[in-house]
A and B are shown apart, each in its own frame.
Chain A
């Protein structure tokens, strides 16, 4: 149980285009979803927190107009990187939390974004 999927696993896009990454909780309802990015050989940095039906809360330094997050249902959150640039190339990982009381996040397998 508690499986989180991401799609696509890898994506290459041209500079200036937009790309959408999906995060799905397959066997539970995720009240909260989180988006992280990880640069090569570095740690994960929290980008934003989203609750179903609400606007996402972005961490300091993360451009909300560039990284659009939608959490329209209890099983799906999307991250859209708008007008992507090479410096946006990274490993994007989502996680989902089912229960705000007993805390645990389940992580997706990640999406490798390369902007050329």
Chain B
């Protein structure tokens, strides 16, 4: 069964600093992996996805993530944080193309001015 673990319920970075949000997955099969962002009282917006093509995935708003099978990780990064990046971020995975998603607990990203 697929499970997703996000390390750190809260991450605080200064504006302009590197953003690193951690996600590890456990699965017996190659997974589909996603990062979503959620603003207060809103639905989820897809940032990027991994579907077994390139291991380095580029998404919207300058975010990217690297799939590392040896580390079972799919960490999300952004070189330079912007105030508008403050939100809740969810890592999610699925074992198959018709499966519902398993979400991590989420990481609240705080941007310090």
> What is A's interface to B at a CB cutoff of 8 Å?
4, 6, 32, 34, 36, 42-46, 49, 59, 91, 93, 95, 97, 100-110, 112
The CA-CA distance from A93 to B44 in the complex, in Å, is 9
What are the residues of chain B within 8 A of A106 when measuring CB–CB? 46
CA separation between A108 and B41, bound complex, in Å? 12
Any A CB within 8 A of the CB of B113? no
On B, residues with C-beta under 8 Å from A are 32, 36, 41-46, 49, 51, 90, 92, 94, 96-106
Report the minimal beta-carbon distance from B35 to chain A, rounded to whole angstroms. 13
Q: Are B98 and A100 in contact, CB atoms less than 8 angstroms apart?
A: yes
B101 near A34 with CB under 8 A, answer yes
- Looking at chain A's contact residues, is the secondary structure mostly helix, strand, loop, or mixed? strand
State the main secondary structure of chain B at its contact with A.
Answer: loop
What are 19 of the A-B contact pairs (CB < 8 Å)?
A32-B98, A34-B100, A43-B103, A43-B104, A44-B44, A44-B103, A45-B103, A46-B102, A59-B100, A93-B43, A95-B101, A100-B97, A103-B51, A103-B94, A103-B98, A104-B49, A107-B44, A109-B43, A110-B41
Best-surrounded residue of B44, B97, B105 (most CB of chain A within 10 A): B44
Inside 8 A of A36's CB, which chain B residues have their CB?
Answer: 100-101
B-chain residues with CB within 8 Å of residue A104 when the two chains form the complex = 46, 49
A108 to B43, CA, bound (A): 6
CB-defined contacts of B44 to chain A, threshold 8 Å: 44, 93, 95, 107
Interface centre among A36, A44, A49 (most CB of B within 10 A): A44
